[in-house]
Amino acid sequence: MNELSKPENNLEHEKEIKVERMLLDEHTLDQMVEVEVACFSKEMAEDKEELRKILENQKGIHLKLEDGDNMLGYITSLPHNEEFDFLKQYDSELRNDEDAVYLHSIDIIPEGRNLKNFNALFGAFRNEAMRSGYSKITMYARTENRFSDILQKRYGANFFRRIKDWRDLGEDMDYLEIDLSEKEK
């Protein structure tokens, strides 16, 4: 159990956790870079300009998880069909889907990782995807940290295949889909 989940050790009033859409500004980008560094290896972490390109795409759903003014994590996505050509290079079995949103990245800093924060961020993303008219969420989920297992068990993600050494980054990823067409809005 980490210190955040032990109320008896937390004498300070717990700050409000909130999830909201991200705006493209330098402060947000700087916070995203800090989260990337805390969550990923140097090879996997995206730099500020890569993150800027993602946020510039207003068809994607980009949410941040905050504790007061501190970003604990974020989720970024793009329309699946806009990422298809890039992803197809690494997954020959991938099919295009105009009604799907591709979960590009979900990151929560290690000290902010708990079920409450994850459910707040991912649940808000799923709800926004449904409100935006997407019928499916597609993603490549990490296996090393059991993220793929969590999505399959908790959110009903369907497993399709495992890609060894995804994008030559030294880690296997599972291709998953979450059907939103039957979920309650």
Please report whether residue 6 resides in a domain.
no
Residue 68: is its pLDDT beyond 80?
Answer: yes
Domain with residue 46: its CATH number is 3.40.630.30
Q: Could you tell me the pLDDT band of residue 183, with boundaries at 50, 70 and 90?
A: low
DSSP state of 167: G
Give all strands of the β-sheet with 63-67 in edge-to-edge order: 17-21, 63-67, 70-79, 100-108, 136-142, 173-179, 158-163
pLDDT digits (tens, 9 = 90+) for 76-110: 999 999 999 999 999 999 999 999 999 999 999 99
Please report whether residue 2 resides in a domain.
no
pLDDT digits (tens, 9 = 90+) for 17-42: 899 999 899 999 999 999 999 988 78
Task: Domain count for the chain, please give it.
Answer: 1
With 0-12 / 13-18 / 19 or more C-beta atoms within 10 angstroms meaning exposed / middle / buried, residue 182 is exposed
Please report whether residue 164 resides in a domain.
yes
Query: Residue 95 sits in which domain range?
Result: 17-179
Please report whether residue 5 resides in a domain.
no
What the block records as the tokens of 31 is 């916070």
